[in-house]
Amino acid sequence: MSDAWSEIMKDAADGVSGEYYIERDDGREENLKVSDYTRLFPEWSEPERLALKHVKGRVLDIGCGTGRVVLHLQNLGFSAAGTDLALGAIEACKKLGLKEAYVMSAGALEFPDSEFDTVILFGNNFGVLGDEERIIDMLRTLHRITTPDGIILAGSADVEETDDPEHLKYHEKNRSKGRPKGLVRIRVKYKGIVDDWVDLRLAMPEEMESIAKQAGWKVEKKYQTGSPYVSILTKS
């Protein structure tokens, strides 16, 4: 049985135009363009473009999708690998020319010690595992598989940068349940396919700093425009 993410990625690689939907568990839906996954560098967000100047050595892109970022780096001459849990994403990467692409969960990364110099977690992938302890475990693994001066380019969203009543209500509901404001439960819909519900942690900058610290990382620099931001994490 196919999954929505796989179909989105394969269609993006094929140049198919269309929209997919992300539904939050309070009923709010956001429609997004399939073509977003093949945007070229000038079209990326400012935080992503600025963060990319820190890339060095061998690169790992976690949750790489169609390879938007990792293919750009490969074309610049970097040795780069991508991982994604969606089989269709890895098929798309290979179709578009990525040399190293692996079906692999962010929570079960199987690479040797000190394999990478740079790890990329764009597109809110810092919190892709949802649960804070699982995120910390992932960061500990990244500490192991990166070189002593390895870095992480970690993307997330500052959920307090909003005045949308629906978002504020959701934050308050989370807080009343003792949950982080930015812990969202979502599912993806595309072409009649509805994926399972998953948790995504949108960590505010101070939350990212606290979570990273527990896994031996510190925030060296941050690029932010509105809610989206990318922090450069170095080993503490």
Q: List the one residue out of 37, 24, 117, 123 whose CA is nearest residue 106.
A: 123
Kindly report, residue by residue over 2-16, the tens digit of the pLDDT.
799 999 999 999 999
Q: Beta strand pairing status for 19-24 and 80-84?
A: unpaired
Architecture of domain 4-235 in CATH?
A: 3-Layer(aba) Sandwich (3.40)
Domain boundaries, the chain: 4-235
Are the C-beta atoms of 49 and 41 separated by less than 8 Å?
Answer: yes
pTM listed for this prediction: 0.97
Matching residue, tokens 């578009």: 96
Q: How far apart are the first and last CA of the chain?
A: 43
At 148-204, the pLDDT tens digits run 999 999 999 999 999 999 999 999 999 999 999 999 999 999 999 999 999 999 999
